[in-house]
A and B are shown apart, each in its own frame.
Chain A
């Protein structure tokens, strides 16, 4: 088991190092999420409710996540390095988990900028929002990484990934917005936790079949 997690750590570290050198993904995510929040700020009427602002934040974050997911496996496919990882004797689910952790790190980084911007333009950040985001991040990263690996093999991956991912992400939006604005956030947070658990197991178990021919 410790060897498995050592593989996961080595793979996640590699992704973070590659991003540190190329700065391909995180700067694009930061620019997008801040721009989206600014545009939404001017698009929403002044008397708009907290409900609308929360919904906009969740939409902005979901589309920001798509930027990370689209790029997650592009380099691996284009440079064929995924073949190198598949040939290695590590469990193939470790490749998925390593990539999931790096996507999660990128999301956290984007949210560390997005939440202060949200507080500036809209309203203060509540613990319910933070808890909802933390749980939704896990769902986005786990299922999104699996779908990103599927889409990366296709020619029209930029189109295919949103088509695959957005329908699957609807429950995350429902749970996240619900946790942020409902009187009883616990129910929605539990729903997000259950989603994470189910999709993490499904993605972990099915990744091998996605990356092998």
Chain B
């Protein structure tokens, strides 16, 4: 690794739930602009690793250093993390306020348009399809222009148009550091600068 700034540095990283080890002994360096593809079968610890990176879990062994402020991390998990009783616009407005997004309204509108949700902006989230919900979750993840992007199975539930929109986002990640966990990595191999296979 050259002099580039390390965003993620893990040494002997592990996580147990009770007596059950879910993840063990992960060593990893990921620098600015890097793209890490995490693969592995169901139950191999991909989601746990992503939650560790996001700060939603603490490691039970080893060390993990994330050189990005909490407000510069974008996390897309299995749940969309949006309020089903609110509209897409209200959800993004709330997160925009909490993340102190400059020009919040313009950015919200731009993302909703880009991901094809503008027409549904005032509908309750509970009325959206699973695919639209995933698009909204992507809008929430990208809203604050994160420096470290953590995507756990991002293509799940997306139709071909939604997947193409995400492809375009990943292709133009530029200086963003990206970690994607997927058990279907074929689509992402072209972007990945590093790979981590969990057993």
Interface residues of A (CB under 8 A from B): 3, 6-7, 10-11, 14, 17-18, 21-22, 75, 79-81, 83-90, 212-213
Return chain B residues, CB-CB under 8 Å to A79.
Answer: 79, 81-84
Interface residues of B in 71-112 (CB under 8 A from A): 71, 73, 75, 77, 79, 81-86, 90, 94-95, 97-100
CB closest chain-A residue, reference B137: A84
- B16 located at the interface, meaning its Cβ lies under 8 Å from any Cβ of chain A in the complex: no
Return chain B residues, CB-CB under 8 Å to A90.
Answer: 98
- B40 located at the interface, meaning its Cβ lies under 8 Å from any Cβ of chain A in the complex: no
Interface segment out of the listed B55-63, B166-174, B181-189:
B55-63
User: In the assembled complex, how far is the CB of residue B54 from the closest CB belonging to chain A, in whole angstroms?
Assistant: 6
Q: For the complex, what is the distance from the CA of A86 to the CA of B71, rounded to whole Å?
A: 10
Q: Which 3 interchain pairs have the tightest Cβ spacing?
A: A89-B71, A84-B81, A80-B79
Query: Contact check: which of B69, B73, B81 meets A81 at CB < 8 Å?
Result: B81
Contacts A/B (CB < 8 Å), 23 sampled? A7-B97, A14-B90, A17-B85, A17-B86, A17-B90, A18-B85, A21-B86, A79-B79, A79-B81, A79-B82, A79-B83, A80-B79, A80-B81, A81-B81, A81-B83, A84-B81, A86-B56, A87-B70, A88-B70, A89-B69, A89-B98, A90-B98, A213-B56
- B140 located at the interface, meaning its Cβ lies under 8 Å from any Cβ of chain A in the complex: yes
Return chain A residues, CB-CB under 8 Å to B56.
Answer: 83, 86-87, 212-213
Q: For the complex, what is the distance from the CA of A17 to the CA of B84, rounded to whole Å?
A: 12
Return chain B residues, CB-CB under 8 Å to A21.
Answer: 85-86, 124
A7 in contact with B98 (CB, 8 Å): yes
Return chain A residues, CB-CB under 8 Å to B55.
Answer: 86-87
